[in-house]
Structure 1
Amino acid sequence: MKLELRAVHARHPAAPRGSDVLHGVDLALAPGEQVAVIGPSGAGKTSLLQTAAAALRPTRGTVGFDSVNPWTLHPRALKRQRGALFLAPQAPPLPPRQRVVTAVLAGRLPAWSLWRSLASLFHPQDIPGAQQALARFDLADKLFARVDRLSGGERQRVGLARALLAPARLWLIDEPLSALDPTRSRQAITALTGAARERGITLLATMHQVDVALAHFDRIVGLRDGRVAFDLPAGQVDETTLAALYAQHEDELRQPPAAPPSTPEAPAPVLMQCR
C-alpha cells in the first residue's frame, strides 16, 4: 500500500484550538517500503502514526492510501479502509484474563464474519496460524498462557505477533521494542521486518533505539517538534545529524529509555522469629 501525508497538521482532540502537534508534515512511502521514524520524546511520533492510520483526523493537509483520502469516504467505506491497516500501540490493549492464542487471533478479526469472530472466543479458529506467528517472536510455548501471566516484554511481542495474522497491507508500529532487552529487540525487529518484506507490506515504525533503526531500516525520518527534520537513507544519517535532532535530549540518544515495568513480582516473604 502506498501512503502519503501532504502538509499535514494535527492535534489531539482534547488540545485547545491552534495547539497542533504536527506542523506541515510531508511523508510518502512506496508499497512495500520500510521506514523508521526517530526523534526525542514529545516530537509527535505517536501522533504521526495515528494520523497515518486515519485514527486522528488532520486539521489541515491530506492523508492518502493508494491515492484515496480516507476522510472523504462514507463511514462504512472508511471502516473497510481501516481494516487494510494495522496500528500497533506501544502498549498493546490485551485483556488480562484472555488466552494468548485468542489475543493473537484478534488480528484476523477484520477478515472474519461476526459469527466466526464470536466462535473464536470459545474455540480458537486458527491455532496453527497463531502458533506460527508466535514462533517468529520466540513465544510459541505461550500459546495457551493467560495474558496476565506474561511479562511486559512478552505482551509487547504478542502484540507484534498479532500483526502477522492481520489482513493488512500497511503496518504502523509504535515503539515496538520499548519493553525489550537488546537481544530480544534484535530478534523482534528482524522478525517484524522480515515478515513485512516476505508479504510486501508497507511498514512505518517509530523507534527510540537509534542504533537498531539504522541497522534494520534503509530509510530514516527524523521528527522534532512536530516537523520533519530530515528524511534520509540510513547510510547518510551521521552523528552531526543525530546531534541536531536530539539537541537538549542527548540522554535519549546516548541510551535507550527505561523499559516499562513487567508483571510485578510477588513480595519477598517476611521471616518472623518467635522468642
Structure 2
Amino acid sequence: MDLTPLDLNDRRGIITGAGQGIGLALALEFARRGGHLLLVGRTPETLAETAELVAAEGGTSEVLACDLTQAGATEQITDAVASWNSVDLLVNNAGNVRAGRLELTPDADIRSMLELNLTAPILLTKALLPELRESGAGRGSIILNISSGIALVGMPFYSIYGATKAGLAHFGESLRRELIGTGVHVATVYPGATDTAMMRSQNAGADLGWERRSREDVIADLMAALEAGEHEINTAPRSRRAMQQLNISDPLAVDAAIAPGLVELEAAVRDHRSI
C-alpha cells in the first residue's frame, strides 16, 4: 500500500507527558509547525516550562496538570478542548517504567504501569475519537502512540513494561484497521533506549545491548516518518534492529544471546523506575 504524506502544520491537539522527554520534544516540533496544543502532565512547573518553549517556537498552548490514572482525568481533557473548533492530533506519550524481577515488583508499580501506559491512552482515545473522526473527514487527523522497542523484543526484567507497550502497539494496529477510510491516521512509534530523564536511573550500556540514541535523532526520525505517512515507526538503533529481526526468525537464539549477561543486566536495571 502506498503511503500518503501527512501535513503536520497547524495541528490542534493533545500531547500527554508533555513536561519532559519525547513529549516535550514533540510539543516543540508541532509548535514550529504552528500548532495549538493542550499540554498534559502531572507537574505544573514542567508543563509551564514546555508552554514557554512552545511559544518561543511559534506555537500556542494550554496547560492541564492532571494524573491520567485518576478517575475523571479523561473528562478533564475532553472538557479542556470542548470549545476548540477542531481536534486533529492526539499524542499518547505519557508512560512510566519499573524494571526488575517480576516477583520483586510491588503490586502498586504493576498497576501504575498498566493504568498509565495502556488503560489511560485507550480511554483517552475512545473519548476523543468523535472529534478525531470529524477532523479525519476534513483535512485528516492523527493518533500517535508512543510504544517502545521492548514491544518488539521482550527483555528480561521488563515483563510488565513490555506487556503494556506491546498492548499499546496492538491497540494501535487494531484501531488503524478499524478506522480505514475515515481519514484518521493511526501511527505507533517504537523508540529504543533514548537519552531522556526516564532513562537516568537505568545503567545498562551498549555492552548489554542498550545502546542509546539522542532524543534529537529519535525525534528527527519520528517526524520524518510521520510526515511521510508511515504507520509503524521504528527509531531503534541499527544494532537493536538486528535483534528485532532475529526475534522474528529465531526467538530462541535471542534467548541464548541474552542469557550470559543476565546477572549483569539485572544489576544495571534494578533501579530503573520513573513511577
Q: Same fold (TM over 0.5)?
A: no
Report which of the two structures shows the higher radius of gyration computed on alpha carbons: 1
Judging by fraction of residues, say which structure has more helix.
Answer: 2
**What is the TM-score when the length of structure 1 is the normalising length?**
0.30
Structure holding more strand per residue? 1
Instruction: Tell me the TM-score normalized by structure 2.
Output: 0.30
User: Taking CA–CA contacts closer than 8 Å with sequence separation of 6 or more, which of the two structures ends up with the larger relative contact order?
Assistant: 1
